[in-house]
Structure 1
Amino acid sequence: MTKNWWKLLAVVFIIYTIIAGLLFKVPHLAILHESIRNLYFHVPMWFTMIMLFLSSVIYSVKYLKSGNEQDDLRAVEGVNVGVIFGILGLLTGSLWAKFTWGTWWTTDPKLNSALIAILIYLAYLVLRGSLDEEQKRARIGAVYNIFAFPVMIVLVFVLPRMTDSLHPGNGGNPGFGSYDLDRNMRMVFYPACIGWILIGFWIKQLRFRIRKMENYFLSK
């Protein structure tokens, strides 16, 4: 039980996020209005994706050093779950855009860069699926993964800041500050980020265990 405290914390934070996110007071701002509550779901999805991709690239480096198959499994499952959260980030962002910008998608550089980053990681999964030999698949996948992470960081955090953007925090458009992310919202936003990140790693752990069992039975 003591080893699973973080899972209980994840459940508590997510339940709290859902309840408080829908009921707690939020700033009444032009354009955003009640849609600002999506902040508790949209942004944590991206934070979770980034943390999962980071853990994945760490295990890819470990695999290249150790050759341990378990490290490769953890790396690929980090990408699998990270892509899921990235897609959820795109979907929640698209929904938010419809209510604030009046369209599901724009040519905004932040949106396009995020989509390209997801496609890069989908290509990683396709690449692995196209290789039959296990060690070759793991080595090539690890190298690809190591280069994919900094490219993703550039696409999501660097390039959008160099151009005009509707998205907060990019192209001179101020991010969430005390004006909109007030004390009441911070009380929900921070637990939401922690909760979703923990849920992401919980899912990754479950997928890793399933893959281990599958490999065990296939080897028999």
Structure 2
Amino acid sequence: MPSISTTPQRARGGSPSKRQRAYDYLRARIEGGEFEPEARLLPGEIALELGFSIVPVREAIQRLTAEGIVTLEHNVGARLAAFDSRAYREGMESLAMLDGLAASLAAAHIDETGLAHARSINDELTALLESFDSKQYSALNAKFHETINTFCPNQRVLDLARTEWARFANLRDARHLICVSRAQESVREHTHILELIIAGADAAEIEHASRQHVLATLRWNAPSLS
């Protein structure tokens, strides 16, 4: 299978290509939890929404399929990949490694605005604990991590981490695995990660804290996956 580049393809004049724009559009909707688990992706409808021909939409769906976020089924077409416990476990293990590395590399480059934004999102997560909504929590949690990781200077690491987050967003029929008790711990772990970054902690310590933060969710849900 040919490799799929995660680098945005630019049309003449520096604007993203229609294929890239269609991909970004679908990826954002998936990460935002707008699709139900195993929902069908209808290229014709998506093309109409974007005002594109169907070709760049199909190419975007092919890219999502190569990333494991979408599956193609005979006589059905494209749909979001189904949740299963093995995929969840493997995804979380991969995400822990990539997110930890991305955060540790980002720590030396994140600015005050980025830190303030991350703190603000974590405050929103804290407030959400009062009337817990797992879908909204998942979206905000991913946004918190992306706010930090976007400062990662290694584009390859950042692209891989984003791919795992997008795949995880789809696997979150995993949303039913998120509960208030774990969310409370998660918010505290976010605070600890931010404190390490602000204090200028060693990159290895930040990577460890970020990696263990993701793995803690996997350990918490282990009984439900057996």
Determine if the TM-score, normalized by the shorter chain, exceeds 0.5: no
Q: Which TM-score applies when normalising by structure 1?
A: 0.33
> TM (normalized to structure 2)?
0.32
Q: Which has the higher helix share?
A: 1
Tell me which structure has the larger Cα radius of gyration.
Answer: 1
